[in-house]
Amino acid sequence: MRPRIVIMISGRGSNMAALLAANLPLEVAAVISNRPGVAGLALAAAEGVATEVVDHQAHATREAFDQCLAETIDRYQPQLVVLAGFMRILTPAFIRRYQGRLLNIHPSLLPAFPGLNTHRRALEAGVRIHGCTVHFVTEQLDHGPIVAQAAVPVLPDDSEATLAARVLACEHRIYPEVLCWWAEGRLALQDGGRVRIQGAAFPDGSLLVPGITA
C-alpha cells in the first residue's frame, strides 16, 4: 500500500499543486487549510483530493486550534504531515506529536533568514546566493534537520518579486523530490539531527541552479 500524507496550506498552494502534479508514489489523503476559501483548497478539490478547513480564527487559543488540527489530521491516519506554505506557528505539543513525521519548506537557505520576508531580507543583506530548504520541523521555528536545499543566484537587478519567483521555481522542484525519497524509504533521520539520503538523484540533497534568470 502506498504511504499516506496530509498537506497543510494557508494560501495559494503552489507547492501543494507541485506535489499533486508530480505523480508521487504516495497517497495525498487530504489537504487542510487554516484559512477558508483560499486558492489552494480549490486546486486540491479540482484534483479530487479531500479538503478540510480548520479555521484558526474559530479557536480561542493556539492550543485549542492545534488540538483540532491534530484531530482532523489523525482522521486520515497519515504517515507524514507536509507543511506547504502553512503560515501558523505550531505549539510544542503539536510538534512533539508528529516528531520526525512533519516536514516544512522554507524560502531561504536555512539557517539564514528564518521567519518572514526572507527574500526582502536576502536582498537587504546583499547575499549572492539565496534559495530554499526542506527540513523536518522541530520546536525551534524554521530549524530542524535539513533534508534538501536548492540555491539560486541573486542578480543585480532583482526585486523581491523576481527573487521570490526564482526561489519558488526551485521549491517546486525539491519538495516533490524529497517526498519521493520519503515515499521510497530513502530518508533516514539520524541521531544528532542529520538526515541521510540513500541514492538521491542529486547528491546529498543539494541542488544548485546556476544561470536561472527568470
Q: Catalytic positions, please?
A: 106
Q: Which residue, chain included where needed, has cell 542578480?
A: 155
CA quadruple 10, 106, 142, 2: dihedral sign: positive
For the chain, helix (H) and strand (E) counts, in that order, are: 6, 10
Q: Report CA 133 to chain centroid distance, whole Å.
A: 8
> Is 11 a binder of ligand GRF (CB under 6 A)?
yes
Q: Are 30 and 41 in contact, with CB atoms under 8 Å apart?
A: no
Closest CB to ligand GRF among residues 1, 113: 113
Q: How far is the CB of 150 from ligand GRF (least distance, A)?
A: 11
Q: How far is the CB of 86 from ligand GRF (least distance, A)?
A: 7
Q: How far is the CB of 176 from ligand GRF (least distance, A)?
A: 12
- Which residues within the stretch 157-176 sit at the binding site for ligand GRF (CB under 6 A)? 168, 171
Return the range that interacts with ligand GRF (CB under 6 A); candidates 8-16, 27-35, 143-151, 194-202: 8-16
End-to-end CA distance of the chain: 40
Q: How far is the CB of 103 from ligand GRF (least distance, A)?
A: 12
Q: How far is the CB of 16 from ligand GRF (least distance, A)?
A: 6
Sort residue 151 into left (φ over 0), alpha (ψ -120 to 50) or beta.
beta
Pick one of 5, 6, 7, 13: the residue that binds ligand GRF (CB under 6 A): 13
Question: Which x/- pattern, by CB under 6 A, does the window 106-125 give for ligand GRF?
Answer: xx------------------
For residue 65 the three cell numbers come to 486550534
Return the range that interacts with ligand GRF (CB under 6 A); candidates 22-30, 91-99, 105-113, 135-143: 105-113
* CB closest to ligand GRF, residue no: 85
Pairing of strands 4-9, 102-106: unpaired
User: Strand order of the sheet with strand 146-153?
Assistant: 51-53, 27-33, 4-9, 80-83, 102-106, 129-136, 146-153, 206-208
Closest CB to ligand GRF among residues 160, 184: 160
Which residues make up the interface to ligand GRF (CB under 6 A)? 9, 11-15, 40, 84-85, 105-107, 168, 171
